[in-house]
A and B are shown apart, each in its own frame.
Chain A
Protein backbone atom coordinates (compact mmCIF):
# COMPACT_ATOMS: atom_id res chain seq x y z
CA UNK A 1 0.00 0.00 0.00
CA UNK A 2 1.16 3.55 -0.65
CA UNK A 3 1.74 5.87 2.29
CA UNK A 4 1.20 9.48 1.32
CA UNK A 5 -0.61 10.07 -1.91
CA UNK A 6 -1.25 13.60 -3.08
CA UNK A 7 -3.88 14.91 -5.38
CA UNK A 8 -4.10 16.53 -7.74
CA UNK A 9 -0.88 15.45 -9.43
CA UNK A 10 -0.71 18.84 -11.13
CA UNK A 11 -2.42 22.13 -10.45
CA UNK A 12 -2.31 25.25 -12.58
CA UNK A 13 -3.71 28.54 -11.28
CA UNK A 14 -3.45 32.29 -11.72
CA UNK A 15 -1.57 34.54 -9.34
CA UNK A 16 -3.80 35.63 -6.50
CA UNK A 17 -5.89 32.47 -6.49
CA UNK A 18 -5.80 29.91 -3.72
CA UNK A 19 -4.22 26.49 -4.23
CA UNK A 20 -5.38 23.40 -2.36
CA UNK A 21 -3.47 20.14 -2.35
CA UNK A 22 -4.56 16.96 -0.62
CA UNK A 23 -2.67 14.07 0.86
CA UNK A 24 -3.97 10.70 1.98
CA UNK A 25 -2.10 8.06 3.93
CA UNK A 26 -2.69 4.51 5.08
CA UNK A 27 -1.32 3.99 8.58
CA UNK A 28 -1.45 5.81 11.92
CA UNK A 29 1.08 8.60 12.10
CA UNK A 30 2.91 10.70 14.67
CA UNK A 31 2.98 13.76 12.44
CA UNK A 32 2.60 14.86 8.86
CA UNK A 33 4.88 17.34 7.18
CA UNK A 34 4.68 19.33 3.97
CA UNK A 35 7.74 20.11 1.89
CA UNK A 36 8.32 22.20 -1.21
CA UNK A 37 10.80 21.41 -3.94
CA UNK A 38 11.80 23.96 -6.52
CA UNK A 39 13.07 22.53 -9.78
CA UNK A 40 16.54 21.09 -9.35
CA UNK A 41 16.71 21.93 -5.67
CA UNK A 42 16.32 20.10 -2.39
CA UNK A 43 13.22 19.85 -0.27
CA UNK A 44 12.31 22.74 1.96
CA UNK A 45 10.25 22.12 5.07
CA UNK A 46 7.03 24.15 5.16
CA UNK A 47 4.95 23.01 8.08
CA UNK A 48 4.53 20.11 10.50
CA UNK A 49 1.23 19.07 12.01
CA UNK A 50 1.07 16.55 14.83
CA UNK A 51 -1.51 13.80 14.99
CA UNK A 52 -3.36 15.53 17.85
CA UNK A 53 -3.67 18.78 15.91
CA UNK A 54 -6.41 19.55 13.42
CA UNK A 55 -5.26 22.76 11.82
CA UNK A 56 -2.10 24.81 11.62
CA UNK A 57 -1.21 28.10 9.98
CA UNK A 58 2.06 29.58 8.83
CA UNK A 59 1.89 32.81 6.86
CA UNK A 60 -0.12 32.08 3.71
CA UNK A 61 -0.14 28.35 4.43
CA UNK A 62 -2.94 26.50 6.15
CA UNK A 63 -2.72 22.79 6.84
CA UNK A 64 -5.49 20.58 8.10
CA UNK A 65 -5.28 17.03 9.34
CA UNK A 66 -8.15 14.57 9.66
CA UNK A 67 -6.80 11.43 11.30
CA UNK A 68 -10.17 9.67 11.04
CA UNK A 69 -10.00 9.99 7.27
CA UNK A 70 -6.22 9.72 7.18
CA UNK A 71 -5.96 12.82 5.08
CA UNK A 72 -4.40 16.25 5.10
CA UNK A 73 -4.72 19.33 2.97
CA UNK A 74 -2.38 22.21 2.24
CA UNK A 75 -3.92 25.52 1.29
CA UNK A 76 -1.79 28.31 -0.13
CA UNK A 77 -3.72 31.57 -0.15
CA UNK A 78 -3.13 34.47 -2.53
CA UNK A 79 -0.64 32.47 -4.56
CA UNK A 80 2.36 34.06 -6.24
CA UNK A 81 4.42 33.03 -9.24
CA UNK A 82 7.23 32.24 -6.78
CA UNK A 83 5.03 29.51 -5.26
CA UNK A 84 5.52 27.47 -8.43
CA UNK A 85 7.10 24.23 -7.22
CA UNK A 86 6.35 20.62 -6.34
CA UNK A 87 4.72 20.06 -2.98
CA UNK A 88 5.08 16.84 -1.03
CA UNK A 89 3.48 15.49 2.06
CA UNK A 90 5.59 13.25 4.25
CA UNK A 91 4.45 11.12 7.13
CA UNK A 92 6.37 10.22 10.23
CA UNK A 93 5.11 7.11 11.95
CA UNK A 94 6.76 7.79 15.27
CA UNK A 95 9.49 6.32 17.41
CA UNK A 96 9.80 2.64 17.96
CA UNK A 97 8.67 -0.20 15.78
CA UNK A 98 10.24 0.12 12.39
CA UNK A 99 10.41 3.87 12.17
CA UNK A 100 13.15 6.02 13.67
CA UNK A 101 13.20 9.35 11.87
CA UNK A 102 12.14 7.93 8.54
CA UNK A 103 9.86 10.15 6.48
CA UNK A 104 7.63 8.54 3.86
CA UNK A 105 6.91 10.90 0.99
CA UNK A 106 4.02 11.07 -1.40
CA UNK A 107 4.29 11.46 -5.14
CA UNK A 108 3.81 15.21 -4.93
CA UNK A 109 1.68 17.88 -6.55
CA UNK A 110 3.21 20.09 -9.22
CA UNK A 111 1.87 23.59 -8.72
CA UNK A 112 2.20 26.17 -11.47
CA UNK A 113 1.17 29.73 -10.68
CA UNK A 114 0.83 31.93 -13.75
CA UNK A 115 1.61 35.64 -13.37
Chain B
Protein backbone atom coordinates (compact mmCIF):
# COMPACT_ATOMS: atom_id res chain seq x y z
CA UNK B 1 0.00 0.00 0.00
CA UNK B 2 1.36 3.47 -0.88
CA UNK B 3 2.79 5.39 2.04
CA UNK B 4 3.74 8.91 2.96
CA UNK B 5 7.42 8.92 3.84
CA UNK B 6 9.18 11.50 5.97
CA UNK B 7 12.86 12.19 6.48
CA UNK B 8 14.71 12.42 8.74
CA UNK B 9 12.98 10.49 11.48
CA UNK B 10 14.78 12.57 14.10
CA UNK B 11 16.40 15.98 13.68
CA UNK B 12 18.42 17.71 16.36
CA UNK B 13 19.13 21.39 15.74
CA UNK B 14 20.57 24.30 17.66
CA UNK B 15 18.18 27.11 18.48
CA UNK B 16 18.26 29.80 15.81
CA UNK B 17 19.26 27.42 13.04
CA UNK B 18 17.20 26.68 9.97
CA UNK B 19 15.71 23.25 9.53
CA UNK B 20 14.03 21.57 6.57
CA UNK B 21 11.72 18.62 7.07
CA UNK B 22 11.05 16.50 4.03
CA UNK B 23 8.07 14.48 2.93
CA UNK B 24 7.20 12.37 -0.06
CA UNK B 25 3.40 12.26 -0.33
CA UNK B 26 1.51 9.44 -2.01
CA UNK B 27 2.10 9.87 -5.71
CA UNK B 28 -1.44 10.48 -7.00
CA UNK B 29 -2.45 12.73 -4.12
CA UNK B 30 -3.02 16.39 -4.79
CA UNK B 31 -3.36 17.92 -1.36
CA UNK B 32 -0.69 18.12 1.27
CA UNK B 33 -0.63 19.03 4.93
CA UNK B 34 1.70 19.56 7.84
CA UNK B 35 0.66 18.96 11.42
CA UNK B 36 2.67 18.95 14.60
CA UNK B 37 2.31 17.25 17.97
CA UNK B 38 4.12 18.65 20.96
CA UNK B 39 4.84 15.89 23.46
CA UNK B 40 1.73 15.08 25.45
CA UNK B 41 -0.46 17.50 23.50
CA UNK B 42 -2.93 17.35 20.64
CA UNK B 43 -2.04 17.02 17.00
CA UNK B 44 -2.25 20.57 15.63
CA UNK B 45 -2.81 21.68 12.06
CA UNK B 46 -0.13 23.89 10.56
CA UNK B 47 -0.81 24.31 6.86
CA UNK B 48 -2.50 22.84 3.81
CA UNK B 49 -1.12 23.13 0.29
CA UNK B 50 -2.63 22.64 -3.13
CA UNK B 51 -1.61 23.57 -6.64
CA UNK B 52 1.69 25.01 -5.46
CA UNK B 53 0.19 27.41 -2.99
CA UNK B 54 -0.95 27.51 0.59
CA UNK B 55 -4.67 26.91 0.95
CA UNK B 56 -4.95 27.47 4.65
CA UNK B 57 -2.63 28.02 7.57
CA UNK B 58 -3.00 28.18 11.32
CA UNK B 59 -1.84 30.91 13.66
CA UNK B 60 1.13 28.69 14.51
CA UNK B 61 2.35 28.96 10.92
CA UNK B 62 3.99 32.37 11.19
CA UNK B 63 6.66 34.02 9.04
CA UNK B 64 9.29 31.61 10.34
CA UNK B 65 7.57 28.73 8.55
CA UNK B 66 7.38 28.06 4.85
CA UNK B 67 6.39 25.13 2.65
CA UNK B 68 7.47 24.19 -0.81
CA UNK B 69 6.98 21.51 -3.40
CA UNK B 70 10.36 21.78 -5.10
CA UNK B 71 9.71 18.97 -7.57
CA UNK B 72 7.01 16.49 -8.49
CA UNK B 73 7.48 14.30 -5.47
CA UNK B 74 8.79 16.19 -2.43
CA UNK B 75 6.96 18.48 -0.03
CA UNK B 76 9.04 20.36 2.50
CA UNK B 77 8.50 22.37 5.66
CA UNK B 78 11.16 24.93 6.51
CA UNK B 79 11.59 26.65 9.83
CA UNK B 80 13.93 29.60 9.35
CA UNK B 81 15.10 30.33 12.88
CA UNK B 82 14.12 27.58 15.25
CA UNK B 83 12.96 28.22 18.79
CA UNK B 84 12.87 25.87 21.75
CA UNK B 85 9.09 25.71 21.48
CA UNK B 86 9.35 24.31 17.96
CA UNK B 87 10.40 21.00 19.47
CA UNK B 88 7.68 18.57 18.45
CA UNK B 89 6.80 15.68 16.19
CA UNK B 90 5.97 16.99 12.73
CA UNK B 91 3.63 14.97 10.56
CA UNK B 92 3.14 15.29 6.84
CA UNK B 93 -0.12 14.09 5.32
CA UNK B 94 -1.64 13.89 1.88
CA UNK B 95 -5.07 13.23 0.47
CA UNK B 96 -6.68 12.57 -2.87
CA UNK B 97 -9.57 14.95 -2.60
CA UNK B 98 -9.70 18.29 -0.94
CA UNK B 99 -12.46 20.75 -0.29
CA UNK B 100 -15.24 18.58 1.09
CA UNK B 101 -12.65 16.52 2.96
CA UNK B 102 -14.45 13.28 2.39
CA UNK B 103 -11.28 11.35 1.81
CA UNK B 104 -8.95 10.37 4.62
CA UNK B 105 -5.64 12.05 5.12
CA UNK B 106 -2.70 9.67 4.97
CA UNK B 107 0.03 10.44 7.48
CA UNK B 108 3.71 9.73 7.52
CA UNK B 109 5.46 8.45 10.63
CA UNK B 110 6.69 11.91 11.49
CA UNK B 111 9.95 13.72 12.11
CA UNK B 112 10.86 14.30 15.72
CA UNK B 113 12.42 17.77 15.89
CA UNK B 114 14.51 18.52 18.97
CA UNK B 115 15.74 22.08 19.44
CA UNK B 116 18.67 22.51 21.82
> B98 — nearest CB in chain A belongs to which residue?
A101
Given the contacts A42-B4, A42-B107, A100 and B43 also touching, CB distance less than 8 Å: no
Q: How many residues of B contact A (CB 8 A)?
A: 29
Which A residues, 65 to 86, have Cβ-Cβ distances below 8 Å to chain B? none
Complex contact A105–B101 (CB within 8 A): no
Interface residue count on the A side (C-beta < 8 Å): 29
Whether A42 contacts B91 in the complex (CB less than 8 A), given A88-B43, A102-B48, A107-B42, comes out as yes
A42 (CB) vs chain B CBs: closest residue: B107
By the criterion CB–CB under 8 Å, are A41 and B101 in contact?
A: no
- Complex CA–CA separation, A107 to B95 (angstroms): 23
B contact residues vs A (CB 8 Å cutoff)? 4, 31, 33, 35, 41-45, 48, 50, 55-56, 58, 91, 93, 95, 98-102, 104-110
Residues on A close to B: CB < 8 A? 4, 30-31, 33, 35, 40-45, 48, 50, 88, 90, 92, 94-95, 98-108
